[in-house]
Amino acid sequence: MEKELIQNKSLILLRGLPGSGKSTLATLLSEQNKYPILSIDNYFIDTKTGEYSFSHLSNHIAYKQCEEKTKIHLQEGSEKVFVDNTFTLEWEMEPYFKMANEFNYRIFVITVENRHRGKNIHNIPFEQVEKMAKKYRVQLL
């Protein structure tokens, strides 16, 4: 027998390329941070200065930390939990799908497009963003 999903609990993944507006949309949808918003980017932000400093060598730690914090919020029963990351590859979302199943959350994946020509605030070179775009897949069925 399948687990019955708790209809008032949702895990919402916002995915898109750098500069698409994922964080801005997450803040809007979370009713100005009423609900938790998690991101791999949080790992790279200095809490004292607010400065963003990405390190590819620490990326795997940032992924793990984001997953762990998400799990804590799901265990606590947060009504809504938002995670905004690029999620360009399917495997990057898998841990969140498993957590949603484990804690009986509905899961939504929202793809954010850069229709407003937003600039990525993390100074990721355009060539790198292009590479990410080539790997990006959307599942419609």
Domains of the chain, start order:
10-135 (3.40.50.300)
Q: Return d(Cα 14, Cα 84) in angstroms, integer.
A: 5
Q: What is the pLDDT of residue 4?
A: 55
The residues with which 45 forms a beta bridge, in sequence order, are 52
pLDDT at 38: 97
pLDDT digits (tens, 9 = 90+) for 42-91: 888 888 888 888 888 888 899 999 999 999 999 999 999 999 998 999 99
Higher pLDDT, 93 or 18: 93
pTM recorded for the entire structure = 0.85
Q: Give the torsion through C-alpha atoms of 34, 35, 41, 46, to 10 deg.
A: 50
> Rounded to an integer, what is the distance from CA 139 to the centroid of its chain?
17
**Using CA atoms, how far apart are residues 79 and 94, in angstroms rounded to an integer?**
21
Average pLDDT over residues 5-26: 88
DSSP letter string over 107-140?
Answer: EEEEEPP-TT-PPPTT---HHHHHHHHHH-----
Q: Which residue has the higher pLDDT, 115 or 29?
A: 29
Convert the pLDDT of each residue in 95-126 to its tens digit.
Answer: 999 999 999 999 999 999 987 777 776 677 77
Report d(CA 139, CA 79) in Å as an integer: 25
pLDDT confidence tier of residue 6, bands split at 50, 70 and 90: low
pLDDT band at 1 (very low <50, low <70, confident <90, very high): very low
Q: Are β-strands 37-38 and 80-85 bridged in parallel, bridged antiparallel, or unpaired?
A: parallel
